[in-house]
């Protein structure tokens, strides 16, 4: 077994072991007084990681004399020197004689003042005379003590420090004793089991360095999915578990017709304002709704006319909005403001379908996709976000059925005890907002919007009167922001995201909390 490397630190480690050879404990202040503590500590750490020594760090304050204090130790304090000079001269000394006797202007000046205050000397005519026979030079003896022991009573230390006679410094030293694996030589330790060791059998005799169980493991170079898409995945799973088919929402550009008119949103509705909706300048205008493929046999002209009539004059038992409905407004292109435009197109297609019983078949549709609003951007608003949307069409649906559905749906996300509030939405009636009690915020928070699509919308499509359709919409960003405690939506969606956040965000697991 080779001894450890011959670098100075290695030598020092060996010296430490040597020093402990015949004794159980050493003090570094005694054994290695001149080795800087950092150097010594490195060697001790190396030895203690192998359990060869154990050590204890000792920290203490040391007092160090300044140059002036050294002089006092040698010659006495200024005032003592003044007294001695005055005392020695029989019949007193004049001030100029004193200075000559001491040979230092500052010592004379400072010492004189203090000696007066101590009432050691007094002025008699023009002479200084001693008042006492002997004095005790306290400062000198204190400093002498400090010079020897490097310490003193804390009050004295503080006083001398104030007088700028001493400084203090933290000094680290070590109490070192033998460890369980003490030896005079440092044995090489293996950090890992290698293929070579398996081949040679060296693993049987090798010494293994203990693993640091308090540290994190090695960094993983890994890819990551975006937290919003992880949330989308959770929602999609729930939709699949409950029998929903995904809608083709890959169509961002919509017509005023599908985005608004088909949903019975009147043409003067504020949602259609330039302030709220992005309109398209190029291409200029849309085509009238028409068949998408050759096998699409629906009568789109009739549908278009139905929509016009239900807005303008009323139809299907509705008095309508009673305003002149403009085709041009309907054919303006917009960036869709909701995915409900796609739901409308899907429901219109549904009207042409026939189930085994010859009736329009019940369906469940969903989508999670991007929508656009011409909003001023702030911490909670972006001009783009994701809408989670669900549609259930069936016969004999009731409002209580929609509530029952939400109980099942949201229980899968751990949300229970839902509350339902009447609300208003131009294309659903009844409309209701969903609330759930948020334990963190200690209040009811809105989690979604829902309702039954209006007959004006459905019957214009040619859907049977007794087919009722639930619609509901949720936000994808909001639950994600709550889940990951994000307060600014721009940190989630868009290019201002922090990649470190994406790389480190945990799985969503909606059912877990």
Partner 1 sequence: MPTISVDKYKLYEALGRKFTTAEFEDLCFEFGIELDEDTEDEERPIVNGEQEPPQLKIEIPANRYDMLCFEGIALNLNIFLGRTKPPNYRVVEPKDGILQTITVSPETSKVRPYVSGAILRNIKFTKDRYESFIALQDKLHQNLARQRTLVSIGTHDLDTIKGPFTYEALPPQDFKFVPLNQTQELTGETLMTFYENDRHLGRYLHIIRDAPVYPLILDSNRVICSLPPIINGDHSKITLNTTNVFIEITATDITKLDIVTDMMVTMFSEYCAEPFTVEPVKIISDHNNQTRVTPHLRPRVTHAEVDYLNSCTGLNESRESLCKLLAKMAYVARPSDKDPNLLEVAIPPTRADVLHQADIMEDVAVCYGFNRLPRSSPNNSATVAAPLPINKLSDIVRIEAAMAGWSEVMPLTLCSYDENFGWLNRKDDGKTVVKLANPKTLEYQVVRTSLLPGLIKTIRENKSHSLPIKIFEAADVVFKDEKSERRARNERHFAAAWCGKSSGFEVVHGLLDRLMLMLRTNFVAGSDGVKPDGYWIEELNEDTFFHGHAAAVYLRLGGKEQRIGEFGILHPTVLEKFDLRFPVSTLEINLEVFL
DSSP string, 43-93: HHHHHHHTTSEEEEEEEEEEEEE-HHHHHHHHH--HHHHHHHHHHHSTT-B
Element (H, E) at 141: helix 138-149
Cross-strand pairs, 178: 53
Q: Is 293 in the site for partner 1 (CB under 8 A)?
A: no
Residue closer to partner 1, measured from CB, 40 or 310? 310
Answer yes or no: are the C-beta atoms of 278 and 335 closer than 8 Å: yes
Q: Which two tokens stand for residue 53?
A: 């020594």
Residue closer to partner 1, measured from CB, 113 or 248? 248
User: Exposed e or buried b for every residue in 74-96, given b needs 16+ CB within 10 A?
Assistant: eebbbbbbbbbbbbebeebbeee
Residue closer to partner 1, measured from CB, 179 or 462? 462
Q: Is 493 in the site for partner 1 (CB under 8 A)?
A: yes
Taking the C-alpha atoms of residue 343 and residue 391, their distance in angstroms, rounded to an integer, is: 7
Q: Which of residues 438-457 bind partner 1 (CB under 8 A)?
A: 452, 454-456
Q: How far is the CB of 340 from partner 1 (least distance, A)?
A: 15
Q: How far is the CB of 500 from partner 1 (least distance, A)?
A: 6
Q: Which of residues 46-75 bind partner 1 (CB under 8 A)?
A: none
Taking the C-alpha atoms of residue 249 and residue 342, their distance in angstroms, rounded to an integer, is: 6
C-alpha to C-alpha distances, 414 to 187, 232, 269, 389, 513, nearest whole angstrom: 58, 16, 37, 19, 6
Q: How far is the CB of 440 from partner 1 (least distance, A)?
A: 19
Tokens 């750490």: give the residue: 45
Which is nearest to 402 in space by CA: 423, 432, 426, 422?
Answer: 432
Taking the C-alpha atoms of residue 354 and residue 360, their distance in angstroms, rounded to an integer, is: 5
Q: Which of residues 296-325 bind partner 1 (CB under 8 A)?
A: 314, 316-323
Residue closer to partner 1, measured from CB, 208 or 395? 395
Q: Is 225 in the site for partner 1 (CB under 8 A)?
A: yes
Q: Is 500 in the site for partner 1 (CB under 8 A)?
A: yes
Q: Is 476 in the site for partner 1 (CB under 8 A)?
A: no
Q: Which of residues 345-374 bind partner 1 (CB under 8 A)?
A: 361-364, 367, 370, 372, 374
Give how many residues touch partner 1 by CB under 8 A: 108
Taking the C-alpha atoms of residue 83 and residue 283, their distance in angstroms, rounded to an integer, is: 107
Using CB under 8 A, pick the residue from 71, 99, 329, 429 that binds partner 1: 429
Q: Is 424 in the site for partner 1 (CB under 8 A)?
A: yes
Q: Is 488 in the site for partner 1 (CB under 8 A)?
A: no
Length of the chain: 513
DSSP string, 498-513: -HHHHHHPPP--TTT-
Q: Is 420 in the site for partner 1 (CB under 8 A)?
A: yes
Residues in contact with partner 1, shown as a per-residue x/- string from 367 to 406 under the rule CB under 8 A: x--x-x-x-xx----xxx-------x-xxxxxxxxxxxx-
Using CB under 8 A, pick the residue from 77, 139, 173, 255 that binds partner 1: 255
Residues in contact with partner 1, shown as a per-residue x/- string from 234 to 253 under the rule CB under 8 A: --x--xxxxxxxxxxxxxxx
Q: How far is the CB of 323 from partner 1 (least distance, A)?
A: 6
């Amino acid at each position: 077994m080779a001894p450890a490397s011959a670098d100075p630190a290695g030598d020092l480690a060996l010296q430490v072991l040597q020093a402990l050879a015949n004794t159980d404990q050493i003090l570094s202040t005694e054994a290695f007084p001149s080795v800087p503590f950092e150097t010594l500590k490195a060697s001790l750490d190396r030895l203690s990681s192998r359990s060869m020594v154990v050590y204890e760090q000792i920290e203490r304050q040391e007092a160090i004399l300044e140059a002036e204090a050294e002089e006092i130790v040698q010659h006495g304090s200024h005032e003592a020197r003044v007294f001695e000079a005055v005392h020695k001269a029989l019949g007193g000394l004049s001030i100029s004689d004193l200075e000559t006797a001491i040979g230092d202007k500052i010592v004379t000046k400072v010492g004189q003042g203090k000696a007066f205050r101590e009432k050691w000397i007094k002025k008699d005519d023009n002479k200084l005379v001693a008042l006492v026979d002997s004095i005790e030079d306290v400062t000198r003896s204190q400093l002498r003590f400090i010079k020897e022991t490097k310490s003193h009573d804390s009050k004295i230390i503080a006083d001398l420090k104030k007088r700028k006679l001493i400084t203090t410094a933290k000094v680290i030293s070590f109490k070192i004793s033998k460890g369980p694996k003490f030896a005079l030589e440092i044995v090489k330790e293996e950090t890992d089991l290698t293929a070579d060791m398996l081949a040679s059998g060296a693993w049987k005799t090798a010494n293994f360095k203990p693993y640091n169980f308090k540290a994190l493991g090695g960094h993983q170079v890994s890819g990551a999915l975006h937290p919003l898409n992880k949330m989308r995945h959770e929602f999609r799973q729930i939709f699949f578990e409950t029998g929903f088919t995904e809608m083709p929402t890959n169509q961002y550009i919509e017509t005023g017709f599908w985005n608004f008119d088909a949903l019975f949103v009147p043409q003067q509705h504020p949602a259609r304002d330039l302030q709220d909706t992005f309109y398209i300048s190029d291409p200029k205008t849309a085509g009238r709704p028409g068949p998408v493929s050759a096998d699409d046999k629906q009568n789109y002209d009739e549908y278009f006319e139905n929509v016009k009539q239900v807005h303008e004059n009323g139809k299907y038992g509705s008095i309508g909005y009673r305003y002149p409905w403009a085709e041009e407004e309907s054919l303006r292109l917009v960036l869709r403001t909701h995915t409900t435009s796609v739901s409308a197109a899907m429901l219109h297609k549904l009207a042409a379908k026939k189930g085994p019983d010859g009736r329009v078949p019940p369906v469940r549709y969903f989508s999670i996709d991007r929508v656009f609003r011409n909003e001023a951007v702030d911490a909670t608003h972006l001009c783009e976000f994701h809408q989670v949307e669900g549609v259930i069409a069936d016969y004999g649906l009731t409002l209580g059925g929609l509530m029952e559905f939400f109980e099942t749906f949201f229980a899968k996300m751990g949300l229970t005890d839902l509350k339902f509030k009447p609300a208003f939405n131009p294309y659903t009636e009844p409309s209701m907002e969903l609330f759930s009690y948020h334990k963190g915020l200690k209040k009811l928070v809105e989690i979604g919007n829902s309702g039954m699509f209006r007959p004006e919308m459905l019957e214009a499509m040619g859907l049977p009167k007794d087919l009722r359709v639930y619609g509901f919409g949720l936000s994808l960003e909001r639950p994600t922001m709550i889940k990951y405690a994000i307060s600014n939506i721009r940190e989630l969606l868009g290019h201002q995201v922090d990649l470190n956040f994406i790389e480190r965000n945990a799985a969503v697991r909606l059912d877990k909390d």
